[in-house]
Amino acid sequence: MAYRMQNRQLHVRSRPVVKAGYCRFALHGFSLVELSIVLVIVGLLTSAAVVPLSSTYRHARYKQSQLQLQSIREAMHGYLVTTGRLPCPLANTTTHSGNSLQGEYCRVEQGGLPAVELGLMGERSKAGALLDAWGREFHYAVSLADHDTRGSANTPDWLTTGEPATVGAGQLVADLQLCHTNVSAACPQRALIADQIVWVILSYGESNSGTGTETENQDNDRVYVHSPFSTNAEQPFDDQIIWASRSELVYWLLKANWLP
């Protein structure tokens, strides 16, 4: 019995003595060095999370613009088949300029894409031009080729109902070109991707830099460039572009009986 009592006493004495409002084991706060280390770690983790999110968001916008371009191509073909001509670019918009309509004929070579006329859903500028995923107008360029002796004078063949039939399938031409690189004049054969292009539609992408190779798509001439995607600061390229050739549109006009 005495042995058990002694054991209990020893057991009680081994417990930490705690008084009200006081603990033998004092608590210490973090030092400035420890807090700095924690903040650095949190910052690194945050950066690691933000970069993939930013990349995912950017990829989603490119994907959205690509889907828009697919819908635009279908709408352009549908408009041609229905009306026998192409829509006139919207002139005097926020990012483009061009000639106005002369009477009932379109003389605008470059401008915005008329969303309502084409029946395209999506955000539009105040002028009615369709906007891409970056909130910028799609650029729309069309050939103003006009046959010298066939059809009506000063009426672009691709923009005037009835003109393709009057000119004839074999005489219809187009004057836009697509090149591998930017050029000062016509695209040389070695850099040519396609010629006899009737229309070009493009999104300037995220950068819209107008530097390097991209300058060719913003100089308002008849030559456009298509290049691999690049984030290089000196030669950036993230333009997304679609086009239609003369032979492709002649096929659709024949299929819709607009050509004899």
The answer to whether 197 and 245 have CB atoms below 8 angstroms apart is yes
pLDDT category of residue 129 using cuts at 50, 70 and 90: very high
The C-alpha angle 23, 29, 32, rounded to 5 degrees, equals 165
Across 91-105, 131-145, 148-162, 181-195, the highest mean pLDDT is recorded for: 131-145
The C-alpha angle 225, 216, 192, rounded to 5 degrees, equals 35
* Sign (positive or negative) of CA dihedral 62, 55, 96, 245: negative
3-state secondary structure of 252: helix
Asked if residue 120 is part of any domain, the answer here is yes
Count of structural domains, the chain: 1
Asked if residue 121 is part of any domain, the answer here is yes
Asked if residue 169 is part of any domain, the answer here is yes
| Strands 192-203 vs 176-179: parallel, antiparallel or unpaired | antiparallel
Asked if residue 100 is part of any domain, the answer here is yes
Q: How much is the pLDDT for 210?
A: 73
DSSP, res 233: S
Asked if residue 51 is part of any domain, the answer here is no
Q: Which residue segment(s) compose the domain that 168 sits in? A: 68-255
pLDDT category of residue 28 using cuts at 50, 70 and 90: low
Asked if residue 57 is part of any domain, the answer here is no
Asked if residue 13 is part of any domain, the answer here is no
Mean pLDDT of the region 28-44: 72
Asked if residue 229 is part of any domain, the answer here is yes
